[in-house]
Amino acid sequence: MRTSRPYIVAIGGTTRQGSSTERALRHALASIDADGVLLCGADLDLPLYAPHNPVRTPAVERLLHELRRADGVLIGSPGYHGGMSGVIKNVLDHTEHMRDDDRPYLSGRAVGCIATANGWQAAVMTLSAMRDVVHALRGWPTPLGVCVAGNEPAFALDGRCLLPQVDAQLSTMAHEVVEFAMLQRAEHAEPML
């Protein structure tokens, strides 16, 4: 039985706990009235996706379980050499295990994308690459994607957002994910005429 609050899965960062991408995801998730989970750090230490190898580790099974129950998704990646990190691409590649689901891949889910980098070019290219992959996985990228870029830290060690513009953008994007999730629920709850 579903509660009235949507279930949002946030995925990202690096395998290092406390990365700036992880902080951005935590901040976005905390800004919304939703249930959810953050998969980051060691949760992302998955075997490389291999289509010829059907064996799934407990970490892969957990990822797939959380995505299957998700009403919406937040994905964050650091910008590595003009694209998303291999860790995040590998996470997204594992959604291939969901291809035969009733809701294949990220179908029917809004996906908010966050890219972090030292420079704007890397952040913008990473955000664009993430949105392209979300489209390929049948997800609905939110109208607003967020780039957190620059040499100044955007988050304090305690997780507080230090930049009002970043704070507002993360909140807006996360609310777009929730709004879409609630619209999807309402659409599927009403009988078709």
What would the pLDDT profile of 34-57 be if each residue is shown by its tens digit?
Answer: 999 999 999 999 999 999 988 899
2, β-bridge pairs: none
Contact 107, 140 (CB under 8 A): no
Long-range pairs, 129-133, Cβ under 8 A, ≥24: 129/83, 129/84, 130/75, 130/77, 130/84, 130/88, 133/84, 133/89, 133/92
| Contact of 66 with 98, CB cutoff 8 Å | no
pLDDT in tens, 82-135: 899 999 999 999 999 999 999 999 999 999 999 999 999 999 999 999 999 999
Contact 148, 25 (CB under 8 A): no
pLDDT band, very low/low/confident/very high, at 2 (cuts 50, 70, 90): low
Fold of 7-189: Rossmann fold (3.40.50)
List 187's β-bridge partners, or say none: none
Which pair of structure tokens corresponds to residue 140? 């609905």
Enter the tokens of residue 30: 């905390």
